[in-house]
Amino acid sequence: MRGLFITVEGPEGAGKTTQTNLLGEWLQSQGADVLYTREPGDGCIGAQIRQIILNPNNCALTAKAEAILYAADRAQHVEQVLLPALAAGKVVLCDRYVDSHIAYQGYGRGIDLAFLKDLNQMATGGLMPALTLLLRLSPEVGLERVIKHRDKDRIELEEIEFHKRLSAGYDAIAKANPKRFYVVDAAKPIIEVREQIISAVGGLLLQAGYEVNLNMEED
């Protein structure tokens, strides 16, 4: 397969990691060379930036500084990880990318959307995914899923209104980019969400001339 860039988006606990792994397994079964990655924090520079962003002790971090840190992480990630993998023909599955930035820092924190757009243009050089899967889930349900398994990080500790604003932001971004986005109801059982995602990704691959088997049965 040729290089293909897919991002997975959604609020905390929507199932991004779960579904990225399931999609990756399916893509591998179709012969793809898959690279799993995520933002923030892939690679050793990114891991240090991620620590600053998510550390609950960093309550003095300003919204603008936070937005720029995310962009620094992304610039590093694009150049060091994403572009080389795509050039090598991998299918790159990235857990969070530019749309998280717009939803969380723009709609959630109220940072100017035009500023974020410019920042992302600089960080990515214009690299955007062919497909973005948006796992849509109410913040209450998502946060409930997350706290069952671990302590909340600095972002998860935000008030529920913040999470509602960013969820509405995701909807607005998806509406403005209907060709790039595929929206899934992430409240459905894991297996149903998986099937919808595989249909969407399979459709994209078929359109692009790849040979894929869309039979959902496990081998």
Ligand X SMILES: Nc1ncnc2c1ncn2[C@@H]1O[C@H](COP(=O)(O)OP(=O)(O)OP(=O)(O)O)[C@@H](O)[C@H]1O
Backbone φ and ψ for 7, nearest 5 degrees, come out as: -115, 155
Q: Which residue, chain included where needed, has tokens 């050039």?
A: 87
Q: Does residue 147 belong to the site contacting ligand X (CB under 6 A)?
A: no
Angle between helices 113-124 and 63-77 (to 10 degrees): 20
Q: Does residue 17 belong to the site contacting ligand X (CB under 6 A)?
A: yes
Query: Tokens at residue 76, please?
Result: 């590093």
Among 4, 5, 9, 12, binds ligand X (CB under 6 A): 12
Q: How far is the CB of 125 from ligand X (least distance, A)?
A: 26
Which residues share a beta bridge with 7? 94, 132
Q: What angle do CA 44, 129, 1 make, to 5 degrees?
A: 90
What does 15 bind: ligand X, Mg ion, none (CB cut-off 5 to 8 Å by kind)? ligand X
Q: Give the strand pairing for 91-95 and 34-38.
A: parallel
Q: Looking at beta carbons only, is 3 or 99 nearer to ligand X?
A: 99
The footprint of Mg ion on residues 17-76 (CB under 5 A) is 17
Q: How far is the CB of 12 from ligand X (least distance, A)?
A: 4
Q: Which helix (H) or strand (E) holds 161?
A: helix 160-176
What does 78 bind: Mg ion, ligand X, none (CB cut-off 5 to 8 Å by kind)? none
Q: Does residue 185 belong to the site contacting ligand X (CB under 6 A)?
A: no
Among 57, 114, 126, 149, binds ligand X (CB under 6 A): 149
Kindly indicate which of the ranges 6-14, 63-71, 74-82, 107-115 contains the residues binding ligand X, using the contact rule CB under 6 A.
6-14
| Euclidean distance between CA atoms 3 and 82, whole angstroms | 10
Q: Does residue 155 belong to the site contacting ligand X (CB under 6 A)?
A: no
Q: What angle do CA 152, 153, 155 make, to 5 degrees?
A: 110
Q: Does residue 18 belong to the site contacting ligand X (CB under 6 A)?
A: yes
Which residues share a beta bridge with 93? 6, 36
Query: Tokens at residue 66, please?
Result: 């936070």
Q: Does residue 1 belong to the site contacting ligand X (CB under 6 A)?
A: no
The footprint of ligand X on residues 37-96 (CB under 6 A) is none
Q: Give residues in contact with ligand X (CB under 6 A).
A: 10, 12-18, 145-146, 149, 186, 188-190, 193
Q: Give residues in contact with Mg ion (CB under 5 A).
A: 16-17
